[in-house]
């Protein structure tokens, strides 16, 4: 990573050390491959479904943490941190790090986000 880009990244990563903890979300590609072999008709879908499952786990955990009064933010610093995390925590380097959910005491409100109007991104179809 270019040095001029590393400084702000390093600052953020250092800031995360003040959190209560971080949940690491991984996927074992061997499990996905096994499901692809077992269900050949849907083999091309399993990588996508794996991503969906990972995202649902992150969402549920984030919601639970917030209900307990904690703040959280989902980060994606891989592949920058992959080797260090595998070495530090004894995680198989074959596993794929998908995201990191940093949690702790809230330090402020989340930034406001804007979205396209709901009717432009959600379509509901009813049967006859």
13 falls in which pLDDT band (50, 70, 90)? confident
Instruction: Assign 1 a pLDDT band (cuts: 50, 70, 90).
Output: low
Q: Are 95 and 26 in contact (CB under 8 A)?
A: yes
pTM as predicted: 0.83
Residue 110's pLDDT is 83
pLDDT tens digits, one per residue of 50-74: 999 999 999 999 999 999 999 999 9
Output the DSSP codes for 96-113: EEEEEEEEES--SPPPP-
Neighbours of 30 (CB within 10 A): 11
Q: What region, left, alpha or beta, does residue 34 occupy, with left being phi > 0 and alpha being psi -120 to 50 degrees?
A: alpha
Rounded CA-CA distance 87/93 in Å is 9
Taken in order of first residue, the domains within the chain and their CATH numbers are 3-121 (3.40.109.10)
């Amino acid at each position: 990573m270019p040095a001029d880009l590393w400084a702000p990244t390093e600052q953020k990563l250092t800031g995360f050390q003040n959190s209560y903890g971080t949940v690491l979300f991984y996927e074992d590609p061997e499990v996905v491959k096994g499901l692809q072999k077992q269900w050949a008709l849907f083999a091309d879908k399993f990588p996508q479904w794996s991503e969906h499952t990972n995202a649902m786990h992150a969402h549920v955990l984030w919601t639970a943490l917030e209900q307990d009064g904690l703040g959280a933010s989902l980060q994606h610093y891989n592949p920058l941190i992959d080797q260090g995390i595998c070495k530090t925590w004894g995680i198989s380097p074959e596993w794929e790090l998908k995201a990191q959910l940093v949690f702790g005491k809230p330090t402020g409100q989340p930034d406001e986000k804007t979205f396209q109007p709901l009717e432009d991104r959600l379509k509901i179809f009813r049967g006859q």
